[in-house]
A and B are shown apart, each in its own frame.
Chain A
Amino acid sequence: MVVGTAGGWYEEALPAVAIGEYAGLESVGSMRVEAACASGSAAVRAAYDSVRSGGADVALAVGVEKMTEVDTLTSIELIGRAGSYVWEFENYGMTFPAYYAMYAVSHMNRFGTTEEDMARVAVKAHHYGALNPLAQFQKEVTIEKALQSQVVAWPLKLYDACPLSDGSAAVVLASEETARKLTDTPIWIKGVGSSSDSANLSRRGDYVGLRASVEAARKAYAMAGVTPDMFDVATCHDCFTIAELMAYEDLGFCKKGDGAKMIRDGETEIGGRIPVNLDGGLKAKGHPIGATGASMTVEITKQLRNEAGRRQAPIEHGLGLVHNVGGTGHYAYVTVLSRD
């Protein structure tokens, strides 16, 4: 069992042990992995590697976070420290919205992306969140409401940001032979890719995309033998609205700079070229950070099985994508899932 969690804001110091006891899995062998907001995907990856290597026949990947046990300002403090502490937090009080705001400013300046474009991402997220009975926010919002919300780190506003959340998700991985015994509708991992980047934001080459996402996608696509136009559905890491627009570009759904055009043209809604975040995304489903990668994997599994109800994407090629970012592109994981 692999438990993905960032931790530090809830009471348990050894969450994998607590989960093992609760689930009657004390003796299976467990560990905790951390890749910030991509900890859930890191858990899936570690479980995948242990099955693929023959080290385990069945592995459980759990993602979990409890972020609301501490007050909001303490949460902001702990997430703001998720960079290079001495050089970017100690004297300057970086916050997570501030990191992504710097990307937003650069993207707006370079490509003409607007605050309205970013608000459109929030509107889409809330629209699908309203169709997801497990979403933290199950209500629609308007562009006007999003644009009028409080500025947290200019130009990002409250409605550009995912909430603080409690939540968990789990994925059972098994070898091909065992999977066919366990279920009639297995979903296969066809490709995995991960990459990472500098701790200091100041060491990045530019601020219009996440190099780690580009590289993780390249590895996952090559392993699966797929191209980005083949996916029926995707979950993209929308911790902030600008992050979803950059993800469209970094994952190859459109060329660099055209992310805003995709959301304006409805290309990432059901009926569009590639529906994205039909579970409501981090914005509306919620972002219990260690849980998110596992939860994204659960969502794409449901979509590929046609079990997503009112938010079901049409499944044609049987291929789905999970894109999960940790920190500000400090970590990135991309997973290609297939029905066949």
Chain B
Amino acid sequence: MSADPALASRRSLTLKFNIPISKTSEFWSALKQGRFVTTRCTSCGTVSFPPQSDCPKCMKGEATWTELGRDATVVTFTQVRMPPASFAECDPYVIAICELEGGLKLLAWLEGVDPEGVRLGMKVRLEGRTSPEGNPYYVFVPT
């Protein structure tokens, strides 16, 4: 396909998004302080992650913020060896979906592990991190 004649466009386009997070700002500010919170519906009690201000189960009720535990177990994982363009500088990284006590699942990097040593069901813990730009995020680490 690449052997076919092509017009190499003179124009380029860069997209950089400013993503509004006002509805989840409590999550991000708590994370900056090293705490993990998410939303709980005042009407039916459903706890959601990612947090959201409207309940997807009962479709009524207000969202309140509730603390999350940090202990979790690995449900599934992979190691990315061919990263996307914006992660091109990263060494191969392990991404896992882990289940917190209570049943909520989160997807995040699993740091500090030998990928060949990761086992489903292994115990991990949520930890806060800060990006070079100062944005908070979270990872799992083995316990």
B75 to chain A, nearest CB (A): 7
Q: Mark out the residues of chain A between 85 and 111 whose CB falls within 8 Å of any chain B CB in the assembled complex.
A: 85-88, 90-95, 97-98, 101-103, 105-106, 109
- What residues on A are CB-neighbors of B108 within 8 Å? 91-92
Contact call B86/A93, Cβ cutoff below 8 A: yes
B98 to chain A, nearest CB (A): 9
Question: Chain A residue with minimal CB distance to B2?
Answer: A68
Whether A76 contacts B78 in the complex (CB less than 8 A), given A92-B107, A92-B108, comes out as no
Quick check: is B25 within 8 A (CB to CB) of the other chain?
no
Q: Could you list which residues of chain B lie within 8 angstroms of chain A, going by C-beta atoms?
A: 1-2, 6, 9, 19, 21, 49-50, 75-88, 90, 93, 95, 97, 105-109, 115, 120, 131, 135, 137
Complex Cα–Cα for A154 and B88 (A): 17
Partner-B contacts on A (CB < 8 A): 11, 68-69, 71, 73-74, 76-77, 80, 84-88, 90-95, 97-98, 101-103, 105-106, 109, 150-156, 165-166, 200-203, 207
> Which of A91, A153, A165 makes the CB contact (< 8 A) with B81?
A153
In the complex, 25 of the A-B residue pairs with CB atoms within 8 angstroms, ordered by the A residue number, are A80-B84, A86-B19, A86-B21, A91-B131, A92-B108, A93-B87, A93-B93, A95-B82, A95-B83, A98-B95, A102-B78, A102-B95, A102-B97, A103-B76, A105-B76, A105-B77, A106-B75, A109-B76, A151-B81, A154-B79, A154-B81, A154-B115, A202-B49, A202-B97, A202-B105
CB–CB A73/B50 < 8 A = no
Q: For A95, what are the chain B residues with a Cβ–Cβ distance below 8 Å?
A: 80, 82-84
Sample of 9 further A-B pairs with CB below 8 A, known A68-B1, A93-B90, A155-B78: A86-B21, A91-B135, A92-B107, A95-B83, A95-B84, A98-B80, A105-B120, A106-B75, A153-B81
Q: Could you say which residues of chain B place their CB within 8 Å of the CB of A11?
A: 9
Q: Residue on B with the closest CB to A99?
A: B78
Choose one: A71, A87, A156; the contact of B107 (CB below 8 Å).
A87
Task: Assess the A77–B86 pair: CB atoms within 8 A.
Answer: yes
Contact call A152/B82, Cβ cutoff below 8 A: yes
> Are A152 and B93 in contact, CB atoms less than 8 angstroms apart?
no
Cα(A69)–Cα(B76), bound, Å: 34
Closest to A107 in B: B76
Whole-angstrom CA separation of A88 from B97 in the bound complex: 10
Asked whether, in the complex, the Cβ of A73 is within 8 Å of the Cβ of B85, the reply is: yes
Question: A336 CA to B95 CA in the complex, in Å?
Answer: 37
The answer to whether A152 and B77 touch across the interface, beta carbons within 8 angstroms, is no
Residues from chain B with a CB closer than 8 A to the CB of A202 are 49, 97, 105-107
Q: How far is the CA of A69 from the CA of B49 in the complex (A)?
A: 37
Q: Which residue in B9, B80, B105, B106 is a CB contact (below 8 Å) of A93?
A: B80
CB distance from A111 to the nearest CB of B (A): 13
A93 pairs with B2, CB closer than 8 A: no
